Amino acid sequence: MSPTSTRTIFTLGLFAFLCGTTVPSATAQDYDLATWGERVYDAFASKQRYPKRALDAKLEGTVKVEVTVGQNGDIIGFRINQSSGHNVLDGSVLQILNRINPLPPLPEGLSSFNFKIPLRFNMDEQQTQLGADIQVAEATPDWQGWQRDVSRILARYQGYPTQLIEEGIEGTVRVKVQIAMDGTILAQQVVESSGNPILDDEAVDLMRRVSFPKLPENRESVSLTIPLSYKINAKG
């Protein structure tokens, strides 16, 4: 199913949910809510990520989520109504909701709203490759061990924007990071774009979500430029 058709189905479903449960005929508020639903779908589509562990294991499935939104757009509750059958996919729901929170404010007259959305994880007959090429100048065993630890951390948390898998978009983002002595990332900046803003944002968001091991040899700080690759290869 194409992203456009999925968007249409979600928007119409949201509109039908309102009309079928609250009022007998469509009102101006309903049309406002349908427009709001389009914006909500766009938020989910741009922020949903396919976890690397699920990609590596070729796990697919759909998580059906019920979300409650307050008047100002804050997500005030959610629950999984139907599991994908895979913990790693179900567990990514909270990360997605954190990325999109808050949603747009509700239309005037609504104090809260509850909606359901299916989050689909499907590789669409494609194989993906994620990677981070960590290179430190120091060749000592301590630094080489630190480099391996950083690579493992990035491999664990790097994800592929689901929307871009569906659209067949790939690229490499080079991100410069400043790392403190305790491993905290103090700053991150895209120094070479992938050409796609969603991939660039994903790379920066990844660096905001992770922290690295303490720097070796009591180094106060270090600056690294890390290429993050997102590749798609058609099966067969």
Class for domain 3-121, per CATH? alpha beta
Mean pLDDT of 175-199: 95
Q: Rg for the chain (alpha carbons), in Å?
A: 20
| DSSP symbol at 125 | T
Mean pLDDT of 9-25: 43
Model confidence at 107: pLDDT above 60: yes
Residues in contact with 111: Cβ distance below 8 Å, sequence separation at least 6, in sequence order: 70, 71
Residue 18's CB is within 10 A of a number of other CB atoms, namely 20
Domain range list for the chain: 3-121, 126-234
DSSP string of 4-62, one letter each residue = HHHHHHHHHHHHHHHHHHT-SS--HHHHHHHHHHHHHHHHHHHH-EEEHHHHHTT--EE
Mean pLDDT of 57-83: 93
Predicted local confidence at residue 9, as pLDDT:
41
Model confidence at 30: pLDDT above 60: no
Contact between 91 and 126 (Cβ < 8 Å): no
Model confidence at 136: pLDDT above 90: no
Between 25 and 42, where is the model more confident? 42
Model confidence at 125: pLDDT above 60: no
Closest CA to 33 of 110, 116, 111: 110
The CATH superfamily label for domain 126-234 reads TonB (3.30.2420.10)
Mean pLDDT of 103-125: 86
Predicted local confidence at residue 124, as pLDDT:
64
Predicted local confidence at residue 192, as pLDDT:
96
Mean pLDDT of 23-34: 59
End-to-end CA distance of the chain: 20
pLDDT bin (cut points 50, 70, 90) of residue 16 is very low
Predicted local confidence at residue 31, as pLDDT:
56
Q: What is the pLDDT of the chain when averaged over all its residues?
A: 83
Strand partners, 232: 128
Between 12 and 202, where is the model more confident? 202
Burial of 79 (0-12, 13-18, 19+ CB in 10 A): exposed
pTM of the model: 0.66
Model confidence at 23: pLDDT above 60: no
State the number of CA atoms in the 13 A half-sphere of 15 facing the CB: 18
Lowest mean pLDDT among 29-38, 49-58, 158-167, 191-200: 29-38
91-99 long-range contacts, CB within 8 A, separation 24+: 91/51, 92/49, 92/51, 92/54, 92/159, 93/63, 93/65, 93/119, 95/49, 96/44, 96/47, 96/48, 96/49, 97/67, 99/47, 99/49, 99/205
